Amino acid sequence: MKVLIKKAKIISTGSPHHLKQRDILVIDGVITKIGKIDEAADQIIKGKELYVSTGFMDLRTFSKEPGQEAMETLESLSRAAAKGGYSDLLIMPNTDPVIQSKGVINYLKNSSKITQVNFHAAAAVTLDNKGESFTEMWDLHEAGALAFTDGLKPLWNSDILYKSLQYLYPKKALLMNRPEEPALAMFGQMHEGITSTHMGTKGIPSEAEEIMIMRDLKLLEYADFESERPLLHFSCVSTASGLARIRKAKQKGLPVSCDIAAHQLAFTDEDLGGFDTNLKVSPPFRSKKDIKALQKGLEDGTIDAIVSDHNPLDEEHKNMEFDLAEFGVIGLQTSFAAALTYSGLPVENLIPLFTESPRALLQMSQPVINENEEANLTVIDAAQNFIFTEDMIESKSKNSPFIGKELKGKILATLNKGMHSA
């Protein structure tokens, strides 16, 4: 297939064409020419404000295969990811069986051979994500695990977290933690504040996040590692206080990094007044003050990446009383547009948070936008607004908070492994 991308600004620091507007010709999955191109093609991609980057890499995707294929399969996950501009996904270990064996890692690798999107494993730190006993992390690393985390569950055991840092340090493997003190968050349904009080719903205080971040940073400092790259990564930071702690830690030189979920920029706890379970997420939507802090963290570089936190849930888990519904939203198809719409960042600064920075954190090789290289590309029209509708959803589950919302920045195409999604 012959695809011609016209007048696109290339965002890829490893490319000689970085920040330049060029035409790009892709033939059978290979970039054959970059420059001014006037020739016929099977598909010509144009836009008002066109950008081309390497394919997005997500640091936090929950797959329901293996184990719960009624909510999502790897095939539907790949379709949703490609529609959202992603070529690579880091799969959290909360599958059934848990990603704690070479067999499950190989299952993801083999599945990647027939899908447009590559699946990468984040292996469990503790057996069955229970926080009690270690998995065989070195063996899992050798088998291909790119990071270690308990995914949905925080590493609540301080001794486990500290020893995991020590254990993984020789490999320089990334330890990821979802910062939330479980006892403080227990039975909580949303952010603790005036809105939760008015709704009569138990809240999750910001302190639950901040205290866990304080603990982890103290243990990282106590370990006294010498590393030029992050060793501890905080997933889905949501509070101004938590982010301030991470900023100070970075200024002190601690090997730490963090991400935020794109949807955290779009909603506050006040939006939950109608008890819409599609707005029930973990961490919960916080206050306007917290959103401003996240925007500042993106601007000053405290935040290293933006993630989808894609967690498909079917009607049986979402269409019920608010207190009983599970936490989680789908996000792969809306993450970039939500970030562009609500972050306040220019496109040139936003794209690396989806491409180069996540790969660097995982020590992955960076795709290159240059002639004679395999095409791993995402094409974006940053000027195109669209209303996200349910019939656009490729996931088997429909639990999106953005249905009916207008967003800016449409993904026009994703090219990877000789496959093309538009």
Per-residue pLDDT tens digits for 268-301:
999 999 999 999 999 999 999 999 999 999 999 9
* CA separation for the pair 390, 159 (Å, rounded): 45
Identify whether residues 40 and 156 lie together within a single domain. no
- pLDDT category at 420 given cuts 50, 70, 90 is confident
Residue 311 lies in a domain: yes
CATH code of the domain covering residue 382:
2.30.40.10
For 144, the token pair is 């291909």
CB of 217 closer than 8 Å to CB of 230: no
- pLDDT category at 144 given cuts 50, 70, 90 is very high
pTM above 0.95, yes or no: yes
Identify whether residues 144 and 289 lie together within a single domain. yes
CATH code of the domain covering residue 202:
3.20.20.140
Average pLDDT over every residue of 135-151: 98
For 132, the token pair is 């009690």
For 360, the token pair is 């660097």
pLDDT surpassing 80 at residue 26: yes
The number of domains in the chain is 2
Identify whether residues 265 and 299 lie together within a single domain. yes
In the predicted model, what is the mean pLDDT of the chain?
97
For 268, the token pair is 């506050």
Identify whether residues 379 and 321 lie together within a single domain. no
| pLDDT tens track for 59-108 | 999 999 999 999 999 999 999 999 999 999 999 999 999 999 999 999 99
| pLDDT tens track for 119-135 | 999 999 999 999 999 99
Q: Can 290 be counted among the known catalytic residues?
A: no
Identify whether residues 6 and 116 lie together within a single domain. no
Identify whether residues 404 and 316 lie together within a single domain. no
SS (H, E, C) 53-106: EECEEEEEECCCCCCCCCCCCHHHHHHHHHHCCEEEEEECCCCCCCCCCHHHHH
Identify whether residues 209 and 329 lie together within a single domain. yes
In order of 95, 124, 195, 289, 318, the CA distances from 272 in angstroms are 29, 32, 8, 17, 14
Q: Which residue has the tokens 């990811």?
A: 81
CB of 230 closer than 8 Å to CB of 174: yes
| pLDDT tens track for 150-184 | 999 999 999 999 999 999 999 999 999 999 999 99
- pLDDT category at 352 given cuts 50, 70, 90 is very high
Domain range spanning residue 389? 2-49+373-421
Q: What is the pLDDT of residue 311?
A: 98
Identify whether residues 399 and 270 lie together within a single domain. no
Contacts of 248 (CB under 8 A, 6+ apart): none
SS (H, E, C) 156-225: CCHHHHHHHHHHHHHHCCEEEECCCCHHHHCCCCEECCHHHHHHCCCEECHHHHHHHHHHHHHHHHHHCC
CB of 326 closer than 8 Å to CB of 318: yes
* CA separation for the pair 357, 219 (Å, rounded): 25
Identify whether residues 304 and 408 lie together within a single domain. no
Please identify which of the residues 96, 309, 323, 381 carries the catalytic annotation: 309
